[in-house]
Structure 1
Amino acid sequence: MNSPADPIDIAARILHRDGMVLVIDKPYGLPVHKGPKGGVTLADHLAELQFGLPHAPELAHRLDKDTSGCLVLGRHRKALAELGKAFANGTVGKTYVAVVRGVPKETSGRIELRLAKRSPHRGWWMAVDPKGQQAISEWRLIGAGDGLAVVALSPLTGRTHQLRVHLDAIGHPILGDQIYGGASRLPGGLRLHLHSRRVVLPQGRKPPLDVRAPLPSHFHATLDALGLDAATVEAAADDAEFTKLAAG
């Protein structure tokens, strides 16, 4: 199992490339922005993804450092503007996979809990707050075993740490989440089990761009311990239906 400090061949992690958009499979443990602690970030690798254009691509959205999977980049100003509009107006379909503590009694659900910063001194840490920003997430149960559940998720809004806080709020924190209650010593359990499996991007009159990222190695270790097959989990996540999906 690779560690976050291992050398990264970012070009080998490209899932889709065209003249407007890149989608990469962001590895666990790689921050997308510089932080106060320093260290290597995705920003240090963007020049490797230039591929002859005048400028390196830029992020169209963000993923937490310990969230893996599909990350969208725009290759130039026009692309970034169009992608920004799509993410802002909710026409990008997003499916995540998570392993959570406990098995929900229902097979699906919708979480509508407003979120705000937990404290001005806690950076990005968030908490449920009736006076906070609207935040809506949907989930589907796709597997379970040994007191854990595998869920497919769709954040219908894009708040910081939204899925992590929402799942903790309903009593099912994400496995490996050191901030929101999901820490574990199960195989792979010290790593956050939240993965951006799929993005569906509108392309005007063309069919939507549908990109998927395979589950990372720490997911495989945990699923093996639970007696679950990773390919079956991926297929179930892809089949999960949510309220909003990107439209062409």
Structure 2
Amino acid sequence: MPVHTPYTPPSDPLVFLHVDEWLIVADKPAGLLSVPGRGPEKADCARSRADEAYPGALTVHRLDMATSGLLLFARTADIQRALSKAFEQGEVAKTYLADVWMAPEEANGLIDLPLITDWPNRPMQKVDHEIGKPSQTRFEIIDRHAAASRVKLIPLTGRSHQLRVHMAELGHPILGDQLYAHDLARNMVTRLHLHASELGFRHPVTGEDVQFVAPCPFETA
């Protein structure tokens, strides 16, 4: 069962990597909600901080609270619709870095496991081969260590908790994962070792192919 703890957003600022008149790219710290949660105590989030710096900032996509890395905001409703459509149609290239328990035997591969909400244990997700939604993740081992390894993860679909569930089902949960990791992997580090490191897409106004990179903020355990 999920363990609910008080929301204590980090004081680390939202770092803006790119700002133009149409969109904003920010580097979200771990522990900060992407959008407001329920109740005034959960009003502090990436969107509110972006809106404070650049009034009118609109959400395009989200990261789990425990995940750090690249977030995209739109500055007009038309741009928000265009970018949201690009995400829905798989036209946005997303790359994550993660430290996982041990390492898969294969140097790279495709995880193809359908996912569905585990309703009695929300917000957890689970694999369901009968009614789960198609979910695919490519992985590539970057560096192997005795107890943990760094992997590059590329989601081909955008299901909730997809990367976390897929790696746990593979037997290599992401370190620090409070929902899906076993005790050893969960307690090896002080935060979830998952970071949205790269984001690439076609700029909805200029038509230019743009690529953004956020350096990984944690060391391999």
Query: 2:216 is aligned with what amino acid?
Result: L
Please report how far the alpha carbon of residue 32 of structure 1 lies from its aligned counterpart in structure 2 after TM superposition. 1.4
Residue 168 in structure 1 maps to residue 168 in structure 2: yes
Q: Which residue of 2 aligns with 1:118?
A: 118
Preserved CA contact (<8 Å) 1:104 1:149: no
Aligned equivalents of 1:9 and 1:194: distance in 2?
19
Please report how far the alpha carbon of residue 123 of structure 1 lies from its aligned counterpart in structure 2 after TM superposition. 2.5
Q: What TM-score do the two structures reach when normalised by structure 2?
A: 0.88
Please report how far the alpha carbon of residue 102 of structure 1 lies from its aligned counterpart in structure 2 after TM superposition. 1.3
Q: Which residue of 2 aligns with 1:14?
A: 16
Please report how far the alpha carbon of residue 44 of structure 1 lies from its aligned counterpart in structure 2 after TM superposition. 3.1
Query: 2:127 is aligned with what amino acid?
Result: V
Query: 1:21 is aligned with what amino acid?
Result: L
1:64-123 deviations in whole A, cap 9, x for unaligned? 00000001111111110110110000010000000000121110010111000112x333
- Count of paired positions: 208
Q: Which residue of 2 aligns with 1:177?
A: 177
Query: 1:31 is aligned with what amino acid?
Result: L
Preserved CA contact (<8 Å) 1:49 1:56: no
Q: Which residue of 1 aligns with 2:45?
A: 41
Preserved CA contact (<8 Å) 2:10 2:31: no
Query: 1:41 is aligned with what amino acid?
Result: C
Aligned equivalents of 1:6 and 1:203: distance in 2?
31
Q: Which residue of 2 aligns with 1:199?
A: 199
Q: What TM-score do the two structures reach when normalised by structure 1?
A: 0.79
Aligned equivalents of 1:14 and 1:184: distance in 2?
30
Please report how far the alpha carbon of residue 23 of structure 1 lies from its aligned counterpart in structure 2 after TM superposition. 0.7
Q: What SS does structure 2 have at the residue aligned with 1:160?
A: coil
Aligned equivalents of 1:6 and 1:148: distance in 2?
26
In structure 2, relative to structure 1, the CA distance for the partners of 1:5 and 1:89 (3 Å cut) is: closer
Preserved CA contact (<8 Å) 2:35 2:48: no
Which runs of 5 or more structure 1 residues have no equivalent in the other structure?
Answer: 226-248
Aligned equivalents of 1:160 and 1:118: distance in 2?
11
Which runs of 5 or more structure 2 residues have no equivalent in the other structure?
Answer: 1-7
Aligned equivalents of 2:48 and 2:150: distance in 1?
33
Preserved CA contact (<8 Å) 2:176 2:192: yes
Identity %: 36
Q: What SS does structure 1 have at the residue aligned with 2:56?
A: coil
Please report how far the alpha carbon of residue 18 of structure 1 lies from its aligned counterpart in structure 2 after TM superposition. 1.2
Aligned equivalents of 1:208 and 1:49: distance in 2?
26
Q: Which residue of 1 aligns with 2:66?
A: 66
